[in-house]
Structure 1
Amino acid sequence: MRLAALLLAGLLATPALAVQPDEILADPALESRARDISQGLRCLVCRNENIDDSNAELARDLRLLVRERLEAGDTDAEVVDFVVDRYGEYVLLNPTTGGANLILWIAGPVMLMGGLGLAALYLRRRRAAPEPAAAALSEEERARLAEILKD
């Protein structure tokens, strides 16, 4: 009984796809291609969800657009290019590594290496710096310290 309840809870906990029954193509091969393409396209409203997982109206429009292009005979690459031309590269969940995006791909590792280099330089200079000499206490300071420690 507990196992059945656990299995039911596990099935209910899986993410529900937002693809509506009226969007699904009759041809299973085209529908499979549409799902594969949709996994790589970002919902412009939800931002970090693909269009298959989003319930936003714009995501529905994009799902329908993908399916229309596939029914028109476009290849997967042509469908993605069409959507990117229309909405920009931001629509891709995995942006390309060419052009202006190359700066973004390279900036993170370069900044990390630069930060590590600066930290190493700081630690090397700090280790090589002479230890500051401890100043001796004056008689007045010693008397004050003895008075404080006495209490």
Structure 2
Amino acid sequence: MKRWLLPVALLLAGAAQADSTLPVSPLAYTQLPDPDQEAQAKALMETLRCLVCQGQSIADSDADMAGEMRALVRQRIAAGERPAQVRTWLMERYGDYVTYDPPLSWITAPLWIAPLALLALGLLIARRLFKGKAA
């Protein structure tokens, strides 16, 4: 038998056991009784990234972590916090990665500047190509 097979099997078995065995939070899949608060919570959940998924929002993800984050959002909204306060708290706790719309800072500046720079470069190249053919 190959020597690498056992470590790989153990690694895969560990990944399969990664889901939590703790009970699911009641607010992970239950809406708030106040429709306005639930609408605020859902709008916020659409803008927050699941930290363990591949690009899904916490509203769309079935991961345990996303369920816990949904419950946190609903608990804080039900307690009277504004969505902006909840977003700020989550960003302090999990970092800017938790939001699809990171704030402008020195760390995130390339994310904001790169598309504009690439667009300007593309326009410059297109202008030179078309100018050369027109002459």
Query: Structures share a fold, TM > 0.5?
Result: yes
Alignment partner for residue 107 of structure 1, among 111, 114, 122? 114
CA shift for structure 1 position 77 = 0.7
Please list, as runs of the form range in 1=range in 2, the aligned pairs for 1:82-101 lying within 5 A after superposition: 82-96=89-103, 98-100=104-106, 101=108
Q: For residues 77-128 of structure 1, what are the alpha-carbon distances to aligned partners after superposition, in whole Å with 9 as ceiling and x for unaligned? A: 10111111111111112223x2122232112321443466468779999xxx
Q: For residues 49-102 of structure 1, what are the alpha-carbon distances to aligned partners after superposition, in whole Å with 9 as ceiling and x for unaligned? A: 111110001100100000111122211110111111111111112223x21222
CA shift for structure 1 position 45 = 1.5
Give the root-mean-square deviation of aligned CA atoms: 2.6
Between the two proteins, what is the percent identity of the paired residues? 38
User: Using the alignment, how far apart are the partners of 2:119 and 2:38 within structure 1?
Assistant: 42
Distance 1:124 1:35, change over 3 A: closer
User: Which segments of 5 or more consecutive residues in structure 1 lack a partner in the other structure?
Assistant: 1-18, 126-151
User: Using the alignment, how far apart are the partners of 2:131 and 2:37 within structure 1?
Assistant: 61
Which residue number in structure 2 is paired with residue 79 of structure 1? 86
Count of residues paired in the alignment: 107
Higher relative contact order (CA 8 A, sep 6+): 2
Distance 1:85 1:124, change over 3 A: same
CA shift for structure 1 position 38 = 0.5
With the length of structure 2 as denominator, give the TM-score of the two structures: 0.65
**Structure label with greater radius of gyration:** 1
Distance 1:124 1:58, change over 3 A: same
User: Which segments of 5 or more consecutive residues in structure 2 lack a partner in the other structure?
Assistant: 1-27
Write out the 4+ residue segments of structure 1 that deviate beyond 6 Å after TM superposition: 118-125
The one-letter amino acid of 2:66's match is A
Which residue number in structure 2 is paired with residue 140 of structure 1? none
With the length of structure 1 as denominator, give the TM-score of the two structures: 0.58
